[in-house]
Amino acid sequence: MSGENDIVFEHVYKSYDGKNNVIADLNLTIPSGQRMILLGPSGCGKSTILRMIAGLEKISGGDLYMGGKRVNDVDPGDRNVAMVFQNYALYPHMTVKRNIQFGMEIAKVPKAERDKQTDWALDILNLSEYKNRLPRQLSGGQRQRVALCRALVKKAPYFLLDEPLSNLDAQLRTAARAELVRIHEVYQPTFIYVTHDQIEAMTVGQRIVILDKSIIQQQGTPDEIYNQPANVFVAKFIGSPCMNICKANVENGKLIVGDEAAPIPEAWQKIVGDRKVVRFGIRPEHIEFLPDDGDFSIKVTYTENHGNLLCVAFTVGENNLMATLDPFYVLQDNLKLKIKWDKIHFFDDETELNLGYPER
């Protein structure tokens, strides 16, 4: 799977004060030409990773390779990366056109070529009519697109995006996500995209790396991450509302919550093994209630109608859970939670790691 523009981190450390590691022993390969998302809560080190790739942060230990070359001590200007900053970093005193051309002017690209490239990029992002405006005369969405234009004209093999959509409102964000995918298709650079927004990660990403506390929790395709979360953190981090995680005892092939028990199917019994305590996870959309016939009694604490779905908060034993149901669902009194065994995840109670899945 190795491509010519892979980015490879080998045992990379980063520390600002020489004592505490912001990044510790990072081993990561970012494959060439793909849209790779670095996803995690704030302070997880994802931006630091991006800035190390750009060369804006020095690497404290380990090696970083870009396109097969060790780049630890290469200047940012020599790394051939284009970057879109969170606040766009447009030069406020330059027009849109000058902003886009700045890099080419520094690189002494002839004027005719500069203009051609600028028009090309402006055209892709439908900004041609704003060419002579100053950044302050543009809306947030337009500024963000100018920043993309500026990165685009560089035609760099690496395209770094540091939370590029976080300053846009929700509607613009949806449009911008599609735009980003479209831009990637233009010449297929290696996208490295930092975000804390799981929707962006799932929709823009071809591969996702999930980080927490400077440690990679899981990497994989959006599908893998969603359907086979590697541990409880990933399970709860991806999906909204987040996955319900319940603590349960296992006895004689039965899953026990409170004083009720449900028999564990044979395929799952092998996976649970001889554990006495496990955690199981169910996504809110996979929860099913059956009158009388379910596995565990529930107690509804509150409901919220979102219009397109009905959120129901309830308890099973000591566990608080959330279900998303059809908005017209009628909650009866005698409902019970029915475990859908093909939609369930098991985690070890201590390590919080996923126990795996039966063959389907």
Binding site for other proteins (CB under 8 A): 54-56, 75-79, 81-83, 85-87, 89, 91-93, 102-103, 106-107, 136, 150, 154
Task: Output 87 or 221, the one with its CB closest to other proteins.
Answer: 87
List beta partners, residue 223. none
Task: Output 53 or 257, the one with its CB closest to other proteins.
Answer: 53
Task: Sheet with 344-348: list strands edge to edge.
Answer: 260-263, 254-257, 244-251, 277-282, 344-348
Q: How far is the CB of 103 from other proteins (least distance, A)?
A: 4
CA distances from 101 to 105, 109, 143 (A): 6, 9, 15
Cα dihedral sign for 94, 96, 102, 105?
negative
Q: How far is the CB of 85 from other proteins (least distance, A)?
A: 5
Task: Output 147 or 335, the one with its CB closest to other proteins.
Answer: 147
Q: How far is the CB of 118 from other proteins (least distance, A)?
A: 14
Q: How far is the CB of 253 from other proteins (least distance, A)?
A: 58
145/182 Cα distance (integer angstroms): 12
Q: How far is the CB of 308 from other proteins (least distance, A)?
A: 38
Task: Output 21 or 86, the one with its CB closest to other proteins.
Answer: 86
Cα dihedral sign for 31, 37, 38, 39?
negative
223/239 Cα distance (integer angstroms): 12
Task: Output 88 or 233, the one with its CB closest to other proteins.
Answer: 88
Tokens of 129: 């009519």
